[in-house]
């Protein structure tokens, strides 16, 4: 959960950075599109049941990391900010953190042959 | 024991009042903000509260994007919040199983509302070059409702999965068929 909190802050930082350091318009637009998505995914992932939403930030992290190579970024400091924050977002999205509650097998259960919630009801029926 | 409201292989009931009450309050807060912004868009209020972006709110709320629909866009948000509040409030503590349609409908309002909010947050700086504090508050409220609401949707989908695996008609179960409910936990 701490890793996802870091990503929420990283997302807000990415949105604020163009104003703080006077990014050019293209660079600012990139940050203003990716930043809210980073916040969205990590915020949703703060809750255990949707912790998997953090994995979407691997994609946004890579986009951030690569953005200065694809688009024209100025000042030079903008390059550093986006690559560094992109790396942080990517790494933090890999940490699952503790899961304290049970959710019948979670979202993946819907695609499994024998998820925990079905096993449990089948046992009850046999007994 | 089998009549418990806690879904199988869960350790709490996602449909309990305790889980849903704060969502009602959050949705009503969102509703109030959206109504206020909508009334400003209709020029019923001549100014709008914004402590951070002096002209930002004005530019965003009277922009071409905000006026692209026949009604002010804030009123659409208000309508969605109203649905959210009703969706979180109505139904008993076992509605994940007794009224799957209600839970699914609720999920279909909360999810897209959050997504649209994020799109609007992106539109503000990229196309309008302005920010609006209360619009951001409204977006924060709508994305904060997504996760607390989706656990119930998951419980319902798992129930429907059990219904299907046991060979009962899912369509009937969605409307809360009692015969199916008595056989599938």
pLDDT tens profile B10-27: 999 999 998 899 999 999
Residue B58 lies in a domain: yes
Dist CA B129 CA A56 (whole Å) = 27
- Taking CB atoms and an 8 Å limit, are B10 and A49 in contact across chains? no
Q: What is the pLDDT of residue A126?
A: 57
The answer as to whether B6 is a domain residue is: no
- Give me the pLDDT at residue B2, please: 45
Q: Is the CB of A56 inside 8 Å of chain B's CB atoms?
A: no
| Between residues A4 and B2, the one the model is more confident about | A4
pLDDT at B47 over 60: yes
Identify whether residues A120 and A76 lie together within a single domain: no
- Interface contact flag, B9 A46, Cβ < 8 Å: no
Does the beta-carbon distance from A104 to B154 stay under 8 Å?
A: yes
Q: How many helices (H) and strands (E) does chain B have?
A: 9, 0
Same domain, A6 and A40: yes
Do the chains contact at A117 and B165, CB–CB below 8 Å?
no
A83, A68 Cβ separation under 8 angstroms:
yes
Chain B interface, Cβ < 8 Å to A: 2, 7-12, 114, 118, 121-122, 125-126, 143-144, 146-148, 150-151, 154-155, 157-158, 161-162, 165, 184-185
Distances (CA, A) of B107 to A11, A47, B33, B96, B177: 25, 16, 21, 12, 20
Q: Do the chains contact at A43 and B157, CB–CB below 8 Å?
A: no
Mean pLDDT for all residues in chain A: 91
Instruction: Record the pTM.
Output: 0.90
Does A99 reach chain B within 8 Å, measured CB to CB?
no
A114 pLDDT band (50/70/90 cuts)?
A: confident
What is the reported pLDDT for B149? Answer: 93
Task: List pLDDT tens digits, range A58-113.
Answer: 999 999 999 999 998 888 889 999 999 999 999 999 998 888 899 988 899 999 88
Q: Which domain holds residue B34?
A: 17-96+105-149
Give domain status of residue B56, yes or no. yes
Q: Which domain holds residue A80?
A: 2-96
Residues of A in contact with B8 (CB under 8 A): 104, 116-118, 120-121, 124
Place of tokens 């999205």: A93
Assess whether A77 and A119 both reside in one domain. Answer: no
B142 part of a folded domain = yes
Task: Give kind and range of the element (H or E) at residue A4.
Answer: helix A2-21
Domain count, chain A: 2
Tens of pLDDT, residues B85-129: 999 999 889 999 999 999 999 999 999 888 999 999 999 999 988
């Amino acid at each position: 959960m701490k890793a996802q909190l870091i990503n929420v802050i990283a997302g807000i930082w990415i949105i604020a950075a163009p104003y703080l350091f006077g990014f050019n318009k293209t660079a600012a637009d990139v940050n203003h599109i990716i930043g809210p998505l980073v916040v969205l995914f990590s915020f949703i992932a703060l809750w255990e049941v949707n912790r998997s939403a953090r994995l979407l930030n691997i994609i946004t992290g890579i986009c951030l990391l690569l953005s200065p190579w694809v688009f024209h970024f100025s000042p030079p400091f903008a390059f550093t900010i986006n690559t560094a924050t992109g790396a942080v977002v990517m790494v933090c999205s890999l940490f699952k953190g503790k899961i304290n509650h049970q959710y019948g097998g979670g979202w993946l259960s819907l695609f499994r042959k024998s998820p925990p919630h079905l096993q449990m009801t089948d046992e009850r029926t046999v007994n | 024991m089998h009549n418990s409201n806690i879904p199988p292989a869960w350790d709490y009931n996602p449909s309990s009042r305790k889980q849903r009450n704060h969502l009602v309050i959050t949705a009503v807060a969102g509703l109030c903000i959206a109504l206020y912004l909508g009334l400003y868009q209709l020029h019923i209020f001549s100014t709008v509260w914004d402590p951070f972006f002096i002209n930002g709110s004005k530019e965003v709320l009277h922009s071409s994007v905000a006026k692209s629909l026949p009604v002010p866009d804030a009123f659409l948000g208000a309508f969605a919040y109203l649905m959210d509040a009703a969706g979180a409030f109505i139904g008993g503590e076992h509605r994940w199983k007794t009224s799957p349609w209600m839970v699914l409908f609720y999920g279909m309002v909360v999810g897209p509302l959050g997504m649209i909010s994020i799109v609007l947050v992106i539109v503000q700086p990229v196309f309008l070059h302005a920010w609006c504090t209360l619009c951001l508050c409204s977006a924060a409220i709508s994305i904060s409702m997504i996760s607390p609401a989706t656990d119930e949707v998951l419980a319902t989908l798992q129930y429907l999965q059990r219904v299907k695996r046991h060979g009962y008609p899912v369509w009937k179960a969605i409307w809360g068929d009692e015969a199916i409910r008595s056989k599938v936990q």
